[in-house]
Amino acid sequence: MFSIYLLRHGDIDIKKGTYYGVTDYNLSILGKIQIEKIAKKLKNEDIEYILTSPLRRALQSGEVISKIIDKKIIVDHLLIEKSFGIFEGLTFKEIREQYPKEYSEWMNDWYNYKMPEGESAKQLHMRCVKLKEKVFKNKKNVLIVSHQGCIRYLMSEMLSLPSESMWRFSIDNGKMAKLIVNDEGYAYLEV
């Protein structure tokens, strides 16, 4: 049996509702405080290593925790948030107004639509499938520091749910979920 802790990076300074997948932001002051609180809670957990996205907001979150719990960080590009391409830095309303054709195609097939200069939800999902396989094969207690989209897909994959179920999960900045994987390889959510 092993545990997987899924942590969304801390808060960043950005206008609410902005799509910022691969745009690289630093943690805000609030974000650092959120992560320090989580790190103190994790100090008594049996975490063997930290896996993190290379994007600054996630990597900085991992580094704060690493200093407090004294665990090694491994950067994994599979944990990068979805690239929204030409939609990066825009709100939903701005996307609809500035790119009506692309917006319509996205709304008609949100899972398969590859944003210009970006990627599809399916591509993100497939990265998360690969990461889940690596983590389950390793069978070690791990803290994964990533992003909302990745965590949603990782939760559905790890809990053996259909990919659409990812919409049923939401995790705020600086918040964490814990999954336990039993000896038979079945994961369950610990609340």
In the structure encoding, which two tokens stand for residue 64, read together?
């704060």
pLDDT at 12 over 90: yes
pLDDT at 167: 93
Structural domains in the chain (count): 1
Put simply, whether the predicted model's pTM sits higher than 0.75 gets the answer yes
pLDDT at 191: 81
pLDDT at 163: 87
Task: CATH number of the domain at 132, please.
Answer: 3.40.50.1240
Sheet holding 73-75, edge to edge: 73-75, 49-52, 142-146, 2-8, 176-181, 187-190
Q: Identify the domain containing residue 126 by its residue range.
A: 2-190
Burial of 75 (0-12, 13-18, 19+ CB in 10 A): middle
Question: Model confidence at 46, in pLDDT bands (50, 70, 90)?
Answer: very high
pLDDT tens per residue across span 64-96: 999 999 999 999 999 999 999 999 999 999 999
Query: If DSSP codes are grouped into helix, strand and coil, which group holds residue 91?
Result: strand
